[in-house]
Amino acid sequence: MALEDILSPGWRSKIEQSGEFLFMALQAPPATPLETKNEHLFLLYKTGIIITFEDSPTILVNTLWQRIASTSLPSTIESVGAYLAYAILDLIIDRFFPILYTKDERLAELEDIIVGRVPSREDMSRLHTVKRDLISLRRLLTPYRDLETAFRQTHINQTAAELTPYLNDLHDHITQASELVETYHDIACSLNDIYQSVMTNHMNDIIKILTIISTIFMPLTFIAGIYGMNFQNMPELQTAFGYPIVLGVMLIVVAGMLWFFRKKKWF
């Protein structure tokens, strides 16, 4: 069953007992915020033996060996395999933070744009991209809570003295990353609501302007309609100054309506 999982990467991160080995299937976020493809690492270990499998080359294992070479193993650790498994989990969780900080910067930029002016469709597309990325990060990170708990229970005899400080640190990192993901997702949802509100207000302003224009032209159309009938006995048709008088009346009507709208603060 472990080999089947290894040959079919992409499953949800998990931990399970496989015979005398403890098996972990791990999904890791990209090594840098600029990359988009998740990485997969599989771990089989027991006392004195640890085996890793990668569906494609990653830097997780190399980074682990570099950390061990630079800091060495803690002298109190007797179960080297358990500590190495913890170290790999810690490396994976640490990858979330640079990506999350990048999402935070993008959300801050989008917030300034949405609040400062009427956002464009490109801005909305960027917001949806950040929101989708945060959902993917949350889906990627969520299994590690259960995985950390199962890992702690598996090594209950060792956690009392050896692994407790390290697993507590891992738990803190997972909790912090989870809280950041939820916070940024809430911010993205709030920005989406603000965007919808801004666009609604903008549309209302447009409709208000068009309504005012239509309202102004209604009496003008009425006056023009009356004097456009051209009946033979209409007295105004024979007036020398009838045309400029009608134009003046129209201007007075427009000015009066604009003054009334301004007084009511309708624009």
The rounded distance, in Å, linking the Cα atoms of 234 and 224 is 14
Residue 228: count other Cβ atoms within 10 Å of its Cβ. 8
pLDDT tens digits for range 10-44: 677 888 887 778 888 888 888 777 777 788 888 88
Q: Reply yes or no on whether the pLDDT at 262 is more than 90.
A: no
Task: Determine what percent of the chain is predicted with pLDDT higher than 70.
Answer: 93
Report yes or no: 90 and 169 within 8 Å, Cβ to Cβ: yes
Q: What pLDDT score was predicted for residue 5? A: 77
For 114-126, what is each residue's pLDDT tens digit?
A: 877 777 788 888 8
pLDDT score recorded for residue 73: 65
Domains 2-202 and 203-263 share a fold: yes
**pLDDT band at 77; cut points 50, 70, 90:** low
User: How high is the mean pLDDT of the chain?
Assistant: 82
Class of domain 203-263: mainly alpha
Domain locations in the chain as residue ranges: 2-202, 203-263
**Predicted confidence (pLDDT) per residue in 128-170, tens digit:** 889 999 998 999 999 998 888 888 877 666 555 677 888 889 8
Written as six digits, the tokens of 142 are: 């969520």
Residues 193-234 have pLDDT tens digits of 888 888 888 888 888 888 888 888 888 888 888 877 777 777
pLDDT at 159: 58
Provide CATH code, domain 2-202.
Answer: 1.20.58
Whole-number percent of the chain with pLDDT over 90: 12
Query: Contact 77/162 with Cβ under 8 angstroms?
Result: yes
User: Cα(49)–Cα(18) distance, rounded to whole angstroms?
Assistant: 14
